Amino acid sequence: MYDEEKLAIRELIENWALWRDAGDWERFATVWHDDGRMNATWCQASATEFIKQSREGMDRGVNILHFLGGSTIDRAGDRAVVQTKMTISQRAKVHDVLVDVVCTGRFYDFVEKRAGKWGVVERQPIYEKDRMDAVDPSATLKLDPELLSRFAEGYRHLAYLQVGIGMDVKTTMPGLKGPEVEALYQRGKAWLEGSARP
């Protein structure tokens, strides 16, 4: 059955990726509610701070892009939890070798309709698996196994790259399985049941 509300929510999620990656910061700010929050590997902060840091990073040449797949939307009135298949790709030098890291997972979004407008209240990526490839396939790249093992399997190569370029990476992000993702699902259930905050 056609659902205009779900269509509006899906458009919101797509606008997030397109406007963020295009550096269209003015429109990107409109996908968030004023109290919106972003939880990325490298930034757990208000949406305003996330936009500021993303903009500054892009100006310095940080290259992070997003690609979206299918979504599922669980809605209860003016609230919804949205899970969207995605990939995060980042290009940078690791030990003087230019690499691409591709991380596959899901965006887990807490969204709400306020004053007739859907907006993101909180975004928490779920990191399922990743890989690192040299842009030049003939290049030789040797990673530090001790550093790599500090991070969860779902995003360890992404974290390795990000730490190498000076980012402070959180080590307890949710993955495909485990207590972190189970706790996230419980927060999603509570959100749909009326919790004050995600």
For residues 47 and 32, give the distance between their C-alpha atoms in angstroms, rounded to a whole number.
Answer: 7
At 3, the pLDDT band (50, 70, 90 cuts) reads: confident
At 81-109, the pLDDT tens digits run 999 999 999 999 999 999 999 999 999 99
| Residues 106-159: tens digit of each pLDDT | 999 999 999 999 999 999 999 999 999 999 999 999 999 999 999 999 999 999
pLDDT for 19-44, tens place per residue? 999 999 999 999 999 999 999 999 99
What is the pTM assigned to this prediction? 0.95
Domains and CATH numbers, the chain: 4-192 (3.10.450.50)
| CA distance to 73, 140, 165, 196, per residue, from 55 (Å) | 29, 32, 16, 30
The pLDDT score that the predictor gives to residue 70 is: 97
Pairing of strands 117-134, 32-39: parallel
Q: How confident is the model at residue 1 (pLDDT cuts 50, 70, 90)?
A: low
